[in-house]
């Protein structure tokens, strides 16, 4: 095309036509696109409330875990100080003190490593944010190229129920979408 976009041709037909259970003719990709655009005009935009905090659950969990690890680190440091005091007061043998210190150091190293991981995770951006949520299906559909739209139909749509109605005096029939069934993998995420 002149604007640099590619035209997609093709058509869709009922899978029951081969068995003789459907008498509908095929529908062109262009006609299906036009009818789909009319169909999605009826779908209201999603309302993403400002009260939604996408980061809160993760950060609250991280904060609780970080507090637990910090408490454990303090306990280990207290244990080390107590062991040192006992050793200095000659109430504990050096070998016992050294063994307690060795165990406490090993556990403190593990605790500090976990704290570092949690700190790093709490600084990461969430996997999804408000800008990633598509609220306007029509606007986003308009941004897709013809081949991307065809790919959408082939990949995500299991079945489109259409009705063709030929009005008296008209050469071509009008197509109307009765319903759309999406593939099970995404159907659970779409509310129509």
User: How confident is the model over 41-76, as pLDDT tens digits?
Assistant: 887 776 666 545 555 555 677 788 888 999 999 999
Most confident of 56-65, 106-115, 147-156: 106-115
Res. 109: pLDDT tops 90: yes
* pLDDT (average), residues 105-125: 84
Alpha carbon separation from 25 to 30, 98, 115, 151, 153 (Å, rounded)? 15, 86, 64, 22, 18
State the pLDDT confidence band at 113, using cuts at 50, 70 and 90: very high
Contact at 8 Å (CB) between 37 and 152? no
E strands present in the chain: 11-12, 27-28, 157-165, 174-182
The structural domains of the chain, with segments of one domain joined by +, span 11-46+134-187, 56-123
Burial of 141 (0-12, 13-18, 19+ CB in 10 A): middle
pTM of the model: 0.45
């Amino acid at each position: 095309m002149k604007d640099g976009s590619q035209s997609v041709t093709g058509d869709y037909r009922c899978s029951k036509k081969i068995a003789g259970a459907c008498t509908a003719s095929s529908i062109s990709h262009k006609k299906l696109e036009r009818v789909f655009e009319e169909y999605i005009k009826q779908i209201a935009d999603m309302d993403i409330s400002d009260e939604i905090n996408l980061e809160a659950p993760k950060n609250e969990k991280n904060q609780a875990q970080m507090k637990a690890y910090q408490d454990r680190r303090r306990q280990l440091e207290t244990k080390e100080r107590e062991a040192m005091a006992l050793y200095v007061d000659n109430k504990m043998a050096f070998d016992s003190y050294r063994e307690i210190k060795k165990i406490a150091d090993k556990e403190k190293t593990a605790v500090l490593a976990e704290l570092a991981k949690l700190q790093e995770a709490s600084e990461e951006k969430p996997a999804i944010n408000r800008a990633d949520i598509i609220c306007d299906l029509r606007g986003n559909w308009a941004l897709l190229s013809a081949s991307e739209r065809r790919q959408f139909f082939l990949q995500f749509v299991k079945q489109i129920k259409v009705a063709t109605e030929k009005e008296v005096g008209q050469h071509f029939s009008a197509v109307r979408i009765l319903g759309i069934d999406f593939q099970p993998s995404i159907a659970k995420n779409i509310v129509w």
